[in-house]
Structure formats: structure tokens, C-alpha cells
Chain A
Amino acid sequence: MLKMLLRSVACAALVFGSMLGDAAAQQRTLTVYSSLDEDQAKALVRGFEVAHPAIKVNMIVGSTAPIIARVIAEAASPQADVIMGNAVSALMAADARGLLLSYKPAHYDRVSPQMRDQRAEPVWVGIDAWASSLCFNTAEGAKKSLPAPRSWMDLTNPIYRGHITMPSPLSSGTALLAVNGWLSVFGEQGGWDFMDKLHANIAQYGHSGSAPCRQAGSGEVVIGISYATPGVKLINEGAPISIVLPSEGLGWEVEATAIVKGARNLVDAKVMADWMSSRPAAEISAKFLPMTAYDDINALPRNYPVGEREKLLNMDFAKLAASREAIMAEWQRRYGTKVAPRS
């Protein structure tokens, strides 16, 4: 009996050993963390590997916040070389801890100005912009005779009570996008007044930015406050959804590339950052989102709503970044402590 046990332990040790061997890999490799849409991230890596066949990219894809939490936790011995696509506000949390390398990629000056880190020593270069929008379930809307909302203000109409979900800005960057948009378009006071009225109609606050759109897609709610990409995917899968871009304008943010300070493959990391700032990379991203690092690329992905770029609000990103903690605390004070009203 003991022999059997010892044999299984030895066997496990063997498996461990072979796995260790695998990990101590060879050749030129690059470790990339990405929070882009998975299809977009894979397409970009394919494009990069075609342009630089000597470099093999090892990529993991995950949600915005867990990826940055992982980068912060790994600070003692950085594992990632490049963060290819993460919300700038989240990248700033890593930058504030001194975890990102300042580097000006080769084509940085050709990238459109709003897709650039405006500082003298930039740490990020933009890939695309994402904006808050609504997913409206047309089938459920018809069943309940609810018209599609056209503006943010429409959402405060009592007919929508209990039919709207949104993520909590305490756990979701998407929610912060929307909240920052409201504070920009309605002003400080007006923004919170709007959210007070909206709160009365919210069925629940969740913890994922794309989940409200999925819930609208499966008819669990009628309206999800989210962003366009999950809506586009759901329409492609067959969901009865229309993506609404509210008339007052949209809160938005840049998703960007940055190099991790202490990257083991720094030379190749720079090669990738250079390529990510190039026009061919932007042309790949334009297949997924309308607004990319190059202004003059005009493409509209299938089923993507028309006119997103025109509706992007003029936002003071520096001010919003500085007041991030205060906005979260105020939101928690107003809506975080009580259960939302039920339908």
C-alpha cells in the first residue's frame, strides 16, 4: 500500500519536473497582458507576429481591473512585458505606483492627439476609444410597450422603473465611464441630481461592465447601461438588441498600450510598442471599433452603431482622474448602502 502511495508521489514529482522544464523556455518571446476584446487582441497579435516573425507572443486576456491588480501584485518581479490594451484610468493606477516605463513609440507623433499621453515623458499610446452606451431589448420593449430611450434623461422616466441595470462604479470601469460622462455633461450638481433620479429606476447594480448588455440581450432587463462592443457581439449572436447612443453625449476613454517597468524582454517590448503605434495596427483595430489611433481611418464594424465618434463628450481627463476616489466615495454614500428599489 505504502509502495503504491510512494509511486504516485514520485509520479506527481515527475509531472511537476516536466512542467518546470516547459516553463524555462527558449527563443525570443514576449509576455503580453491584454484587456481588449479577445478577438481584437488575437487579431493584433497575429498582425504583430506577421510583421515580426522572430518574436513569439504569449498573451493572456482578462478584464481590465483584474489584469491591473495582477500587474500591481507582480511588482516585485514583473512577469508581463507589455500591457496591450487597458483603460487609461486603470493604467494610471499602475503608473501611480511607478510600475510603467515611460517610452515614446516610433510612430507616436503620427497618432491622433487625443490618443496620446499628453505628458512630456509618455507612458502610454492609445489603441482605440470606448464609450458608454445603452443596450435596449427591442423584443421586451415591444412586449411591455416601452419606447427606446433616446437620451440619458429619458432613463429617469418612471415608465422604466425596475427595467434598467448598470454596473457599480466601485467595481467596474464601464460604470465610471458613464458616471464621468454624466458629471461632464450635466455638471457636478446636475450629474448627481440625474443619478439620484436614475437610482429610482435601477433594478440592480452589478459588478461587470459587459453584464448589463448581456442581461438586456437575454431579456432579464430591458435596458443595460454598458458599452457598444458586447452589444455588437450579442447582435451578431442573434439577440434582439439595439445599441442606443444617448443624445446628450457619451462618456469615453482610451484603451492604450504601455510597457511594464522591469520587463525582461525590453528590446522586443519596445518593438511591439512601436508596432502598436503604427497605422497597420490601427487598421486591424478598426475592424472592431470605429475610433482608433489614426483619425483618418474611417471604418464601421458590422452592426456597430453609427455616430459614436461625433457624440463623444469633451472631457477633462486629468480632473476626472484626480477626483476618482472622491467620486467613488460619494457614489457609495448615496447608493452603495441601500438596496435598490424593486420593480
Chain B
Amino acid sequence: MPTEYGLPGTMVVVLAVATILPIGALLSRAFYDRAGNFAGAANFVRYASEPGLSIAAWNSTYLSAITTAIVLALAYPVAYALTRSRMPLKGLFRLLMLLPLLAPSLLPAFGLVYLFGNQGWLKSWLLGARLYGEVGIVLASVIYALPHAVLILGGGLAAGDARLYEAARALKAGPWRRFWTVTLPGSRYAVVSAASVVFVSVFTDFGIPSVVGGSVNVLSLDIYKLVIGRFDFELGAVVGVLLLLPALVAYGVDVLARRFQRGAISGKSTPVVPAPSLLRDTALTVVAIVVAGAIVAVFGMAIFGSLVRFWPYNLALGLQNYTRLLEDADEARALINSLTMAGSTALAGTALVTITGWLVARRVGHGGLTQALQALAMVPVAVPGLVLGLGYVFFFNEPANPLHGLQGTMALMVICSMAHFFTVPHLMAVGGLLQLDREIDLAAKALRAGPVATGRKIHLPVLLPTLIDIAGYFFVNAMTTVSALIFLFTAHTRVAAIAVVNLVEGSRIGQAAAFATVIMLVSIAAALIQTALRTFVHRTQPWRGRTP
């Protein structure tokens, strides 16, 4: 049967070619010496003898843990407010929460420096601590990871069964008790996924520590120093292998969490419509205003920086940074390249995720194959872009590879971006489909509908709003990413985010901030289109009830 082996098998091959084969092409060097002879664990021993390793490992672990705790504490109430309250202006709040996802990471870094750096307007808020170091890493990482957590938690909270709440009310459970016994257990899988994604992505990111980390060393910086500073691909590969460990743990936890997650929507479910509650809605609105306010302050400051003559010594406002950009034909072409690449990534990525998410969540096909799919899907989030990009060069630039023709094309950049950002959309799709109880599938089977027909007539419509979010997620990430593409772009396929890096290196800070702002505006436009599409889909699906 094609859905037993054919489709899942094809997907495993596609994902393997896009993720573990290229990554393996680089990481396998951990086991070879420079001349290409098998070296066993020699490189690991060599790396273990490097001074400062244990400090870097400890810094990576505790900074990621603190960030994860803060992000979950902020993202849960925010996601709850967006899905389960009658907070006003939900659309606006949602957009503001996603802002860090919509801008190149340079922009919040500028914003933080302008706010809390040595010339920062709010420097005194740090109570004498310096931005550059642990404080900077945690602040910037929280901003960077928050939207991912809000998206995943929002997916988990979006669906619920009103009958459970009615039952709880009949049993005289108060609002707090209903939250602890119904809502929280129902969103357990989303909490675990969000925690894993935040922890792992902070653990592997090296952009933030390199800009605001001061002299604090973390493991992900070691890769950069070894591969880029010393051209020691072998030791760099060792660190890459070590960085995969948290992802392995996360995968194990994810498997367990999925086992305990029951479908929240069954055939008899009725959608949750939050009743007005002045206390709850006020409290949640206050939280949302504080979080959104902080994000607006950071990004507002960065945009302000793009509008002044020279921060912080000449604050005369003007559009000179934007007009200088417009005069450069190369920069305009970079923006068009970005739009082409991000658009293609969104289309192809969403199509792929629809299939993988469906196979995993609805357990279509052979169990071993779907397990393999889920394992493959968890890899990209654990791999620094640097490793992915260099892995792509090693793998696709090998003349013996039948896909060698892709080297130097934009298609390869699209595949790379799709692979790089695959994990979160896949989890969103799985999370969205897990909310459907299995008895619906059984009912479909009893009616003699095959798995494909069930997928088309039931699963796909349920998933549709999530798919729109997934397309948006791919698009905005592809617009802003740099780390992997820096090894893949050519003169013809130079994208806007790389142009921003070039501007910074050329010490044109104002123009870099201006171009980053332009990228953010494009992404905001995409997010607005996404919201409009969601609203449209909800209108056409009256069974969802009134809450989006």
C-alpha cells in the first residue's frame, strides 16, 4: 500500500537528503583526521584537553535553562491570552509578539545596545550590571525565542473541548482548579515541545553570544572559533556532535510526551468559547501589554537608530540611510532575491510539512518509518546554521553526488532554509493534528474511507489555519536567516539578510539598521496577509465556532 511504505519512505529519503546527510558530511569529520584517515575518538580526546571546555559547557547549559524558564513563564500567559481570553486587540498583540521573528536578529541586538549599552537610555535599569555578558545573552535570547514558544503553545491551546470545562464546572471546580486540571494537562505536549525548542535553539545559537556575550564563552562559539578562526573542521565537528546531545534528550522527552497526550478534540467535542471574566481578562491584558511593550521598546529603539544621522552623537532625524540604500542597485536586487527565496521556501516547506506532520500525528504508514520521520524532523533545530551551511557545501558540492547540479543555485538555498527551519512547523502540524481524537479516524475507517481520503476530507481542513501559520513561519525565517546561507550564496543569489551583514562589516551601521527595518516591514506585510487568510478560512469553516 502506498500509504504504508511508499509515502512515508519517500518522505524519510527527502528529509534525510535535506538534513542528516549534509549534516553528517560535516559531522563525520569528527571521527577522521585532516588527511581523511579514521581517527576513532582521537578528536574528542583532543577537544577534551582544550582549556575552558567545561566552563563553556556549563555556561551553555545554565544560560539556556534560565532563558527557557523565563520564556515559558512569559509565553504561556501570552499564548493563553491570545487563545482563551477576551482580551481586546488580539490581532495587534499577536503581531507584536511575533515581531522578533519578523526581523533580522541584528535589529533586536541594536535595540538592546541602544537601550542598555554603555550609552543606553535605560542603562540604569540593569542596576550596575553590564549588558555585555550573561545579562545580554539572556535578554537577547528571551526576545529571540519568545515568538517560537508563543506559536507552539498557541497551537496547543487553540483547541480545547468545552464539555470538559462544563463537567469541571458541574463538579464545582473554580477557575484555578479548572486551569490546573483541564487546561494545563491538555497543553502538556505543547509545553514540552516549546521548552525543548527554546532550550535547544538557545543552546546552539552563536549569533547572540557573539554580539552581546562579552567575553562569556559558550559551546556554540567554540564551533565558530574552531572552524572559522582556525579552519579546524575536525574539532568543529566534534563540538557539532556535542551540540546534538540536548536535541537527543529533547527527542526522548517528546516521544514520551506524545505517548501521554490524548486527543483533545473528539467527535463529540464542542469548541471552547471563553466567557468574559473581568479579572482574568484584565490580568492577562496587563501581562500582554508589559511583554509587547518591552518588544516594542527594543525594536522601536533600533528603528529610531536607522532614522538618525549617527547614534548616539548626532540624533538629527532623517531618511538619509534609506535613500542611500535605494540608490544601490545591488541592494534592490538582494531584496528581490530574498522575496523569491522566502516565497519558494514557504510554498515548498508547507507542502512538505503537511505530509510529514500528517504521517506522524495520524500514525499513517509503517510505525518504524513514522518514528524515523519524527526523529529526522527534530534534528535541524539542534544544528547551528554554520554546521548546516558547511554540511551542504560538503555534501552537494561533491561531484559524485547526483544532486551536484544544485550547487550554486537558489534552489539549494531554498532547500537549505526549508531544512533549517523544519522542526517548529513540523511540531506545529503534529500539534494541530494531535488535537483530533483517534476515534474520528476509526469512524472514517468504519465508513470505508482510506487514509488519503480521511486526510483530505478531515485532517487537512482541520489543519488549514495552522498551515497558513506554517507558511508564514517559513517565509519570515527565510527572509531573515544568514548563518547557513553565507556559505551558499553567489553573486546572483545574494539575499537581503546577507547584504545587511556586509553593511555592518563595512561600518555602515545606519544603513544596516535601515535595511534590516525594510526586511522587517516586508515580513510584517506577510504576517498581515497571513492574518487575513486565517480570518477568511475561519469564515469558511463555521464548525470552528466564533473564536479564531
Question: Which residue of B348, B489, B504 contacts A9 across the interface (Cβ within 8 Å)?
Answer: B348
Q: Is A31 an interface residue (CB 8 A)?
A: yes
Q: How far is the CA of A58 from the CA of B491 in the complex (A)?
A: 5
> Is B228 in contact with A65, judged by CB distance below 8 angstroms?
yes
Q: Is B313 an interface residue (CB 8 A)?
A: yes
> Is A171 in contact with B229, judged by CB distance below 8 angstroms?
yes
Number of interface residues of A (CB under 8 A): 72
> Is A220 in contact with B113, judged by CB distance below 8 angstroms?
yes
Contact with B along A23-45 (1 / 0, CB 8 A): 10000000100000111000000
B492: which A residues are within 8 A, CB to CB? Answer: 22-23, 58
Q: How far is the CA of A8 from the CA of B352 in the complex (A)?
A: 11
Given contacts A58-B492, A207-B210, contact A332 B50 (CB under 8 A): yes
> Is A218 in contact with B312, judged by CB distance below 8 angstroms?
yes
Question: Which residue of B221, B407, B505 contacts A79 across the interface (Cβ within 8 Å)?
Answer: B407
A343: which B residues are within 8 A, CB to CB? Answer: 130
Question: Which residue of B229, B348, B399, B507 contacts A214 across the interface (Cβ within 8 Å)?
Answer: B507
Q: Is B376 an interface residue (CB 8 A)?
A: no
Please name the residue on chain A nearest to B114 by beta carbon: A218
Chain A's nearest CB lies how many Å from the CB of B389? 9
> Is A15 in contact with B221, judged by CB distance below 8 angstroms?
no
Q: Is A213 an interface residue (CB 8 A)?
A: yes
Contact with A along B348-388 (1 / 0, CB 8 A): 10110010000000000000000000000000000000000
> Is A204 in contact with B215, judged by CB distance below 8 angstroms?
yes
Q: Is B390 an interface residue (CB 8 A)?
A: yes
Q: How far is the CA of A13 from the CA of B458 in the complex (A)?
A: 27
Please name the residue on chain B nearest to A339 by beta carbon: B215
Contact with A along B89-116 (1 / 0, CB 8 A): 0000000000000000000000001000
Question: Which residue of B113, B491, B505 contacts A210 across the interface (Cβ within 8 Å)?
Answer: B505
Given contacts A1-B456, A19-B410, contact A168 B344 (CB under 8 A): no
A62: which B residues are within 8 A, CB to CB? Answer: 486, 502
Q: How far is the CA of A343 from the CA of B217 in the complex (A)?
A: 19
Binds B, one of A188-196, A236-244, A272-280, A295-303: A236-244
* Interface hits, B110-139 → A, CB 8 Å: 113, 117-119, 130, 132-133
Q: Is B270 an interface residue (CB 8 A)?
A: no
B506: which A residues are within 8 A, CB to CB? Answer: 37-39, 233
Q: How far is the CA of A218 from the CA of B318 in the complex (A)?
A: 18
Contact with B along A74-115 (1 / 0, CB 8 A): 101101000000000000010000000000000000000000
* Interface hits, A314-343 → B, CB 8 Å: 325, 328, 332-333, 336-337, 339-340, 342-343
Tell me which of B113, B354, B393, B492 has the highest count of chain A C-beta atoms within 10 A of its own C-beta. B393
> Is A11 in contact with B347, judged by CB distance below 8 angstroms?
yes
Please name the residue on chain A nearest to B236 by beta carbon: A69
* Interface hits, B396-452 → A, CB 8 Å: 397-399, 404-411, 414, 452
> Is B399 in contact with A239, judged by CB distance below 8 angstroms?
no
> Is B507 in contact with A218, judged by CB distance below 8 angstroms?
no
Given contacts A77-B399, A79-B408, contact A58 B50 (CB under 8 A): no
Q: Is B155 an interface residue (CB 8 A)?
A: no
Question: Which residue of A58, A77, A93, A221 contacts B398 across the interface (Cβ within 8 Å)?
Answer: A77
Q: Is B490 an interface residue (CB 8 A)?
A: yes
Q: How far is the CA of A306 from the CA of B40 in the complex (A)?
A: 55
Q: Is A219 an interface residue (CB 8 A)?
A: yes
Chain A's nearest CB lies how many Å from the CB of B323? 15
Contact with B along A200-214 (1 / 0, CB 8 A): 001111111010011
B507: which A residues are within 8 A, CB to CB? Answer: 210, 213-214, 217, 230, 233-234, 237
Question: Which residue of B50, B348, B502, B504 contacts A61 across the interface (Cβ within 8 Å)?
Answer: B502
Q: Is A55 an interface residue (CB 8 A)?
A: no
* Interface hits, B486-518 → A, CB 8 Å: 486-487, 489-492, 494, 502, 504-510
Q: Is B251 an interface residue (CB 8 A)?
A: no
Q: Which residues of A contact B (CB under 8 A)?
A: 1-2, 5, 8-9, 11-12, 15-16, 19-20, 22-23, 31, 37-39, 58-63, 65-66, 68-70, 72-74, 76-77, 79, 93, 139, 168, 170-172, 202-208, 210, 213-214, 217-221, 230, 233-234, 237-240, 325, 328, 332-333, 336-337, 339-340, 342-343
Top 5 closest pairs, chain A to chain B, by CB: A58-B491, A337-B52, A171-B229, A238-B310, A233-B507
Given contacts A22-B410, A23-B410, A62-B486, 4 further A-B contacts (CB under 8 A): A12-B344, A60-B491, A61-B502, A213-B507
Give 26 pairs: A residue, B residue, CB < 8 Å, sorted on A: A1-B460, A2-B460, A15-B344, A16-B411, A19-B410, A22-B409, A23-B409, A23-B492, A37-B506, A58-B491, A58-B492, A59-B491, A62-B486, A65-B229, A73-B394, A74-B397, A77-B407, A79-B407, A79-B408, A168-B229, A203-B132, A204-B132, A217-B509, A218-B509, A340-B215, A342-B130
